[in-house]
Amino acid sequence: MQQNTVQHLEIGTEYEGQRLDNFLANYLKGVPRSHIYRRVRRGEVRVNHNRVGPDYRLRAGDILRLPPIRQGTNQETSRPGQEILELIATRIIYEDSELLVLNKPAGIAVHGGSGLAFGVIEALRALRPNAPGFELIHRLDRETSGILLIAKRRSLLRRIHELLRAGAVEKRYFALVRGSWTGVLRIEASLIKNQLQSGERVVRIDDSGKPALTELRILARNPVASLVEARPLTGRTHQIRVHAAHFGHPLAGDCKYGDADFNRQARSWGLRRLFLHAHYLRFVDNGQELAWEAPLDSDLELIRRYLFSVSPISAH
């Protein structure tokens, strides 16, 4: 179907706080996310006459301008294979009428788009075709495993977004880094996002960027590597990876900010991915404390045992 004219939509209260890209993906059925992102980047999609990014959070009363866009069968996005669907189904660690908590596998993006045929959201929609629309509450990088929150109701999405903005959601990650970490355990360094000509997103330390704070706890170390628990007190893109690299301890398996020699050494231990795992998440919703733990995946656990003679680790 061809939408032949420019549309102007007023955003209602039910879409308050939703990301622009998620709104468009639901509104423009059959349009590939990659096409949506391209239109947003070009400034053809505008909010209140202004250019915005795909991560813009909609507000009630916003006026959204949509250019003419062809809608139809999505040729770019394919249904995830049965193996992926079964994997995602086995990684659900909690579910109720409002919330789904997933122990996300490494190597699967949180959603399709930008050259990816599908992600976690598309897999969940394929698993539950009659369920309400799933929406990401927060994100994990494609190569990061661990706890991922997914809303089944917009009311919950808004509540947890308010908690995230207030810093009231506690997240902790296991990370393997280069060398024996003996220095600072509280990193406060502002971060700024850059986009290279290739379209790749890179984050760097810059005083003009957004404030970022990470606390660290050393779990095990030797002269070659350290296993740390990182607690980001702000939720900046690639925060743990950039902070660790800035202080001379890049993450194992990090091809963007890491050390090539250390990554080669880590591959000799059997590491085939980024060693970063979101293992603990906690918040209080409507007076009820909710918390989940996800132990290290078996591939990372084998490397932990190989490097360190320590007991199993947990959030506490």
Q: Which of 21, 62, 141, 259 is catalytic?
A: 141
**Residue 62 falls in the annotated catalytic set:** no
* Partners of residue 218 on adjacent β-strands: 228
DSSP for the chain, please give it.
-B--S-EEEEPPGGGTT-BHHHHHHHHSTT--HHHHHHHHHTT-SEETTEE--TTPBP-TT-EEEE---B-S--SS--PPPHHHHHHHHHTEEEE-SSEEEEEEPTT--SS-BTTBS--HHHHHHHH-TTSPPPEESS---TT-EEEEEEESSHHHHHHHHHHHHTT--EEEEEEEEES---S-SEEE--EEEEE-TTS-EEEEE-TTSB--EEEEEEEEE-SSEEEEEEEESS--TTHHHHHHHHTT-PBTT-TTTS-HHHHHHHHHTT--S--EEEEEEEEEETTEEEEEE-PPPHHHHHHHHHH---------
Residues involved in catalysis: 141
